[in-house]
Amino acid sequence: MCGIAGYAGKGDVVTTIISLLIELQHRGQEAAGIAVVAKSKEILTIRVKGLAIDILANDAFHKLSFSNPCCGIGHVRYSTTGGYMDSQAQPITVGEGLLKIAVAFNGTIANYVALAKEFGLRSYPGDTYVLAEVLYRLALEYGKDVVEALKHLAEYVIGGYSIAVLTSEPRLVIARDPYGFRPLTYSYDGETFVFASETAALDVLGFRDWREVGYGQILSFDGKSLEATGSSIHVEPAPCIFEYVYFSRPDSIFNGVSVYSARVRMGEELARNSPADGDVVIPVPDSGRAAAIGFSKASGIPLEEGIIANKYVGRGFIMPPQIRDSISRLKYGFIRSIINGKRVVLVDDSLVRGTTLKNIVSRLREAGAKEVHVRIASPPFRYPCFMGIDVASREELLAWRYISPSDIAKAIGADSLGYNTIESLLHAVQLQTVCTACFTGRYPFKNLTVDYLGKMF
């Protein structure tokens, strides 16, 4: 998934970017990085394993801070291709001579292997490196013009991207793919240009006059003026539905829709579509909370915080596979006085691999729950994503292996399991067009099926 941010203007460039990345930490916790253009026009980069705040402890941090940078970009990583904590930590710098660029992006390039071969790359650890090299080579082709390269990037790429490019001119360029899969927002007051993956990050830092980057829009800031243009291709928008279900912060706005309000409506729809006889509604914290509020409102069943999340563990969904099971056992505490003897309606945002929910259901029973009825605010997650979510194999998905909700309920140890419908989810989000491929298997790329896309990785 990942998060990107950047800043150009007066003040402390490095600290501002790190602050933005901290506000985007929920989008990636494997690695973080920052690249700035020094007064000498040299691009300086720090990449660290771990969290954004760990950049402060890096030996090169003071060099960046005292280089008098005018602008920079940053990134927090959640791996969707390549290995965990591998060489794809971003931003990465490519180019030589008068054109050097640093690139950070949020998304996935499904056809990166084919692109690497098309552009003659001898080695390619993953889609980040390929994307940066393709962009650089297109820029050379168009007279060293990064903006022109971004205009034509979508002609080559299959996948999703919200991207930031820093040039040694210096220039800061951001773009959102024509489908608009991933969020991207910015603020500009004539002197300062700042951007982040989510509106909440800008709000927290006091940049409240933000705007969302449009579908296929490209923005370029050279320190004097902000210029806007668009992609060479035009398609029907398909922003990711899972941003509303899980990834985005609840205090963010995506495509003009409040993420929190959409999640509450999901819970209300869920209560109507899949009611449950229960004594208490308990959310899976934190991403299930808003949907649980909606379920409680619509059903009349009281809401209680019966599960407490360890704030220092991070988000289980974006943990590397080898430690997800351990993390799911460590992350949650249970309030026995709320649970004991009760029929619990357990509400979560989604059910993907089932690791976390199976553990939670078991722990609820240990805490004395008489019954556990699981209710999921989204439809069954049955298909892999090739646009920025780390699910590239159907075999990982519980709803692919067990089609019947009753079979899935048995697999996670619940008394019953209920989902929202795709129609109710769309009603909750209130957008005309979105990407629902993870639920429906219908990808927005013309004539490309799940089997075809899967072979690209």
pLDDT tens digits, one per residue of 430-453: 999 999 999 999 999 988 888 888
pLDDT at 91 over 50: yes
Q: What is the pLDDT of residue 123?
A: 80
Whole-prediction pTM: 0.93
CB-based contacts of 16, cutoff 8 Å, min separation 6: 7, 194, 205
Over residues 77-102, the mean pLDDT reads: 78
Question: Is residue 424 classed as helix, strand or coil in its secondary structure?
Answer: helix
Over residues 2-26, the mean pLDDT reads: 96
Identify which of 392, 386, 333 has the alpha carbon closest to the alpha carbon of residue 359.
333
Q: What is the pLDDT of residue 81?
A: 52
pLDDT tens per residue, range 415-428 = 999 999 999 999 99
List helix spans (H) across 158-250.
Answer: 199-204, 241-242
Q: What is the pLDDT of residue 327?
A: 62
Q: What is the pLDDT of residue 321?
A: 54
What's the whole-number average pLDDT of the chain? 93
**Domains in the chain, please, with CATH?**
3-232 (3.60.20.10), 242-454 (3.40.50.2020)
Over residues 185-212, the mean pLDDT reads: 97
pLDDT at 393 over 80: no
Over residues 146-174, the mean pLDDT reads: 97
Neighbours of 448 (CB within 10 A): 15
Which is more confidently placed, 71 or 81? 71
Instruction: Kindly indicate the confidence band of residue 314, based on its pLDDT and cuts at 50, 70 and 90.
Output: low
Instruction: Kindly indicate the confidence band of residue 98, based on its pLDDT and cuts at 50, 70 and 90.
Output: confident
For the chain, what percent of residues have pLDDT higher than 70?
Answer: 94
The DSSP secondary-structure symbol of 11 reads S
CA separation for the pair 292, 296 (Å, rounded): 6
Q: What is the pLDDT of residue 125?
A: 83
pLDDT at 84 over 50: no
Q: What is the pLDDT of residue 80?
A: 57
Q: What is the pLDDT of residue 250?
A: 98
pLDDT tens per residue, range 356-382 = 999 999 999 999 999 999 999 999 999
Identify which of 370, 374, 366, 352 has the alpha carbon closest to the alpha carbon of residue 284.
374
Buried b / exposed e along 140-174 (16+ C-beta atoms within 10 A): eeeebebbbbbbbbbebbbbbbbbbbbbbbbbbbb
pLDDT at 95 over 70: yes
* Structure tokens belonging to residue 142: 């168009």
Q: What is the pLDDT of residue 87?
A: 46
pLDDT at 409 over 50: yes
pLDDT at 140 over 90: yes
Catalytic annotation, pick one of 2, 70, 435, 438 = 2
Catalytic site includes residue 438: no
